[in-house]
Amino acid sequence: MICSYCGTEVLKDSCSFCGASLNIKRPKLKEFVVLEDVEKPFDELECFHTYDLLVLLRLVRKERTKAYDLMLTLKKAGNSPQIEQRMVSYSEDQYGLYTKRMKVIEGILIDRMGYKPQRVDDKLLAKLAERLRKE
């Protein structure tokens, strides 16, 4: 077996030259990322490629914004007899849920990149995709 970090031939579970464990799985790009991926546990999200995490962060932030707008709309119309309090509570819960999931993804990105991007736009994703094609 060959060490994926230094290229040394390895006979055990760890490299004798650099000490890297051979049991570590490197993240691989997924074909596509969907919003439902955000519900995966931390251990699975941590195995996502950085590009995939950025796409997922973009999706979660978009849904969080929608949940926030809905929550504000329902709160403003809260005095209306057609709006039940449980609808307002549900919208608040959804906003809180997306906020927590967003923070998890941002935390993983901070660990990897040293920062969390303020915006995940097409330009950022295109630059990263170009770098990945060059490697």
**Are 5 and 51 found together in one domain?**
no
What does the pLDDT look like over 33-77, one tens digit per residue?
999 999 999 989 998 999 999 999 999 999 999 999 998 988 887
Tell me which range, 13-17, 100-104, 117-121, is most confidently predicted by mean pLDDT: 100-104
Q: What is the pLDDT of residue 78?
A: 66
DSSP string of 58-81?
HHHHHHHHHHHHHHHHHHHTTTST
Domain containing 120 equals: 35-134
72 and 16 both lie in a single domain: no
- In this structure, are 83 and 123 located in the same domain? yes
Same domain, 14 and 59: no
Q: Are residues 47 and 80 in the same domain?
A: yes
In total, the chain counts a number of residues equal to: 135
Q: What's the alpha-carbon Rg for the chain, to the nearest Å? A: 20
Structurally, how many domains does the chain consist of?
2
